[in-house]
Structure 1
Amino acid sequence: MNPADLRRVTKARERLVPVVAKEFGPKARFIHLFGQGRGMLAGVVAEIPEQPLGTDELPLLAIVQYDEVTGAVRVVDREFKYREARSVGRDVALLDGEGNLRLREANGRERLLARGVGGDLFPAAKGDALVATLQTSASHKHETSVGIIDLKGQVKVLADGPGVDATPSISPDGRTVIFVSGRTTVASFYVTDVDGAEPRQLTNVGLENWMLFGGPPKEFVPPPVSSHHMEWLSDDVLRYNAGGGAFWTLNVRTGAAAPDLGGDK
Structure 2
Amino acid sequence: MRKPFLTLTLLTLAGTSALASERLNPADLRRVTKARESLVPAVAKEFGPKARFIHLFGQGRGMLAGIVAEIPADPLGTDELPLLAIVRYDESTGAVRVVDREFKYREARTLGSEVALLDGEGTLRLRDANGKDRLLARSVGGDLFPSAKGDALVATLLMNNEGPHETAVGIIDLQGRVKVLADGPGVDATPSISPDGKTVVFVSGRTSVASFYVTDVEGAPARQLTNVGLENYMLFGGPPKEFVPPPVSSHHMEWMDADVLRYNAGGGAFWKINVRTGHAAPDVGGEP
| Bin for the TM-score computed over the shorter chain | over 0.9
Q: Give, in whole Å, the separation in 1 of the partners of 2:281 and 2:253.
A: 15
Identity in percent: 84
Normalization by structure 2: what TM-score? 0.90
Q: Give, in whole Å, the separation in 2 of the partners of 1:57 and 1:199.
A: 32
Normalization by structure 1: what TM-score? 0.97
Structure 1 gap segments, 5+ residues each: none
Does residue 93 of the first structure (1) align with residue 116 of the second (2)?
yes
Match of 2:85 among 55, 62, 65: 62
Q: Give, in whole Å, the separation in 2 of the partners of 1:101 and 1:213.
A: 38
1:237-252 pair list within 5 angstroms: 237-252=260-275
1:209-224 pair list within 5 angstroms: 209-224=232-247
1:7-156 pair list within 5 angstroms: 7-137=30-160, 143-156=166-179
Instruction: Give the CA RMSD over aligned residues.
Output: 1.4
Alpha-carbon deviation of 1:262? 1.4
Which residue does the alignment assign to 2:21?
A: none
Residue deviations 1:181-208, cap 9 Å, x none? 0000100000000000000000000101
Which residue does the alignment assign to 1:177?
A: 200
Alpha-carbon deviation of 1:229? 1.0
Q: Give, in whole Å, the separation in 2 of the partners of 1:242 and 1:120.
A: 15
Q: Secondary structure at the match of 1:228?
A: helix
Alpha-carbon deviation of 1:264? 2.5
Give the residue type in structure 1 aligned to 2:77: G
Does residue 194 of the first structure (1) align with residue 217 of the second (2)?
yes
Count residues in correspondence.
264
Q: Which has the higher helix share?
A: 2
Give the residue type in structure 2 aligned to 1:146: V
Alpha-carbon deviation of 1:227? 0.3
Q: Report 1 or 2 for greater relative contact order, CA contacts < 8 Å, sequence distance ≥ 6.
A: 2
Alpha-carbon deviation of 1:143? 2.0
Alpha-carbon deviation of 1:249? 0.2
Q: Give, in whole Å, the separation in 2 of the partners of 1:23 and 1:51.
A: 25
Give the residue type in structure 2 aligned to 1:254: T
Q: Give, in whole Å, the separation in 2 of the partners of 1:19 and 1:263.
A: 29
- Poorly superposed stretches of 4+, deviation over 4 Å: none
Q: Give, in whole Å, the separation in 2 of the partners of 1:56 and 1:222.
A: 24
Q: Give, in whole Å, the separation in 1 of the partners of 2:286 and 2:158.
A: 39
Residue deviations 1:73-102, cap 9 Å, x none? 100000000000001111000000000000
Residue deviations 1:125-149, cap 9 Å, x none? 00000000001118x9x82110000
